[in-house]
Structure 1
Amino acid sequence: MSVTIKDVARIAGVSPSTVSRVISNHPRISRATADKVRKIMSDLDYHPNIMAQSLVSKTTNTIAIILPRPAEELFLNLFFAEVIRGIVSQTSKAGYDLLMTSGSSQREEVEAITRLVRGRRIDGVLLLHSRNNDPLIAFLREENFPFVLIGRSPDDQEVLSVDTDNVQASYDAVMHLVMQRHERIGFVNGPPNLTVSQDRMAGYRKALQEQGLEGKPEWIVEGEFLQESGYRAMSFLMNLSERPTALVVTDDVVTFGVLRGLIELGYKVPEDIALVSFNNIALAEMSTPPISSIDIGIYQLGYTASHALLASIQNEGEGKKRVIIPHRLVVRESSLQK
């Protein structure tokens, strides 16, 4: 005979409703009681009927992650793997499952989330990047549905978000190159419709303006967060009659493409051109040469965003609307004058 919730409650000396609250991670259940009930559930090999529980509690213990487009970014850019690792670390401790979804267009993304939200299949949504005029944000706000944005809220909308100060981070990257006596500094940026790209561009321009340095339009190249974008950027930038002597690159993976392009063209880093990148993924230190990179706390972005979303789902009060994760520049060989 299968074990029931009443069996667990009887052995634990609590009511079946208390066991149900432990299963749904109710915040008012004490740690001691929750640990005791979970141990008995484990000893009895009891597995709750999640579908039945969802019908009663109107919760699913599932949150959705909207994956980026193009889809290859997710598999070729380690930023997303690390931010999802942070998300999983927090949600798994809280007993929540993750559901990942995407679409080939904004319309398909909205359709996917509409099905999940109105079908009551999820309790909240995590958005992995911020775009201008994002219909996903408009839909979730209209539905008054819990969600957290990883990135700056576009158009100064009051939404719950977890972000890096990308303006300051980009400013810091440029100022490091200025301290290395560079005056011709270019920028390999991401897609212009993303707020992260806009903020890093703003920081880049702010630093140049403060230092009285020229920022030629041809020294700025935009693309996707993919290695190929960095590779293509070099075929353009290094063939200019007056090329930059240093570059800020918006992503470590893009920087790997920059390095590949420079090697094929016969240039050396940092002797011919210096590089500062973003994200400080593990491979940045193992690159040849090791890449100077802004550490934006990718894991912490995911962990903090999921923590904020769970608090919102459980109605644990109003907190900060925008949480900023600190950043730091990790200086390595790619940006140092020899």
Structure 2
Amino acid sequence: MSIKEIATQLDLSVSTVSRALNDYPDISPSTKKRVLKEAHRQGYQLKDPSAGQWVQAKRVITAIVPSQQSLFIDPILAKVLAGAHQFLQPLGYLLQVVAIDTGKDELSEFERLVKAGDQDGFILLRTRVNDPKVHRLLKLNVPFVCYGRTERASQFAWLDLDNYQVGQLSLSYLVQQKHSQIGIVTLSERYFFAKERQRGIQDAAQKLGIALSHEHFLEVSFDEEQSYLACAEFLLQRPNITALICLNSVSARSAALAVKRLHTDTSKVCVIGCDTPVDELTAEMGITSVQQAAPQHVGEQLAGIMVERIKGTPVKELQVLLSPGVVKTRID
């Protein structure tokens, strides 16, 4: 959109719009406010404050997802990204998704992407402990929002589930259901959400008098087949287990499948999936979900926060913590 089109939209002269954008003193504050509001709405940014140079923004937001060798993007993150796309498209933003391997070349690949400067902001999904991408964006003062937190959460915009409460709620629910032989299917603690969920489980166990030793824990990857095999072996070696808490949806599906194939009566082993969407699949597999909003809604919220951050809204106003709840799935 050109200055002429902004002028037409506001029923002002081109000269008035130009002088308002360049902060001329003969333009009233109310007119300047109208012009600036419309300019921001149409994606204009002040490139050089000293020269009053306004340019149209790129209108591109890049979502960074971590990829593993066996899994490019898991189904839950795909739904989150779909929600973000649905929110951004009417606003004229293009959402591009880039998967970066979490190995030794992660930061160099990310640096190359940032230096290209082809985006207005970043959405980081599945943050890790001491995430190098977060550190780099903070240093460069680039607009971004995280789906998840890190140790420096006070310094940036984020949307996150209260993962500590997820852990506590999961174990407390099982204890209320009279389970005492509980297995925990974990993920690497390099993922911040997994570390927090496990911490919540352990604190709840101590408070409720449930003994959890290292033998009760099974660490798996994001690979569904490998997780299934690990869960099946775990259950075979521990036939007394009556419940499993799985720290993400992939391991929950894997564990539920293992239970289904090992037990004729699947109700004997309760499977809790932390942040697992409620759908026909989880209902059929008998997974009890501990979740917040649906993934698509999470994506919409993330995109909304990203747009506000690009507009300059302070990060303190863009930090959203979601409370989880237990959803018991049933087959009708």
Report the residue type matching 2:38 in the other structure: I
Report the residue type matching 2:66 in the other structure: P
Please, which moves more after superposition, 96-105 or 279-288?
279-288
Q: What SS does the aligned partner of 2:237 have?
A: coil
Corresponding position of 1:63: 61
Report the residue type matching 1:291 in the other structure: I
Distance 2:39 2:9 in 1: 18
Corresponding position of 2:274: 278
Please, which moves more after superposition, 285-294 or 88-97?
285-294
Contact 2:63 2:122 (8 Å CA) reproduced: yes
Q: 1:185 aligns with which of 182, 186, 199?
A: 182
Distance of aligned partners of 1:230 and 1:5 in 2 relative to their CA distance in 1, 3 Å threshold: same
Corresponding position of 2:38: 29
Contact 1:74 1:80 (8 Å CA) reproduced: no
Distance 2:202 2:81 in 1: 31
Shift of 1:315: 1.2
Distance 1:291 1:93 in 2: 36
Distance of aligned partners of 1:30 and 1:69 in 2 relative to their CA distance in 1, 3 Å threshold: closer
Corresponding position of 2:120: 123
Contact 2:184 2:246 (8 Å CA) reproduced: yes
Contact 1:60 1:121 (8 Å CA) reproduced: yes
Distance 1:154 1:27 in 2: 36
Distance of aligned partners of 1:316 and 1:260 in 2 relative to their CA distance in 1, 3 Å threshold: closer
Distance 2:321 2:272 in 1: 22
Please, which moves more after superposition, 3-12 or 160-169?
3-12
Structure 1 residues not aligned, in runs of 5+: 39-47, 49-54
Q: CA RMSD in A?
A: 3.2
Contact 2:270 2:288 (8 Å CA) reproduced: no
Corresponding position of 2:27: none
1:216 paired to 2:213: yes
Please, which moves more after superposition, 204-213 or 95-104?
95-104
Corresponding position of 1:43: none
Q: What is the 5 A alignment of 1:240-279? A: 240=237, 243-271=240-268, 273-279=269-275
Question: Could you report, residue by residue, the CA deviation over 1:225-269 in whole angstroms, capped at 9, with x for unpaired residues?
Answer: 342243123233223256421111122332222122223334532
Distance 1:252 1:322 in 2: 24
Shift of 1:73: 3.7
Distance of aligned partners of 1:92 and 1:16 in 2 relative to their CA distance in 1, 3 Å threshold: farther
Query: Normalising to structure 1: TM-score of the pair?
Result: 0.78
Shift of 1:104: 2.7
Query: Normalising to structure 2: TM-score of the pair?
Result: 0.79
1:100 paired to 2:97: yes
Q: Quick one: percent identity of the two aligned structures?
A: 22
Distance 1:249 1:124 in 2: 33
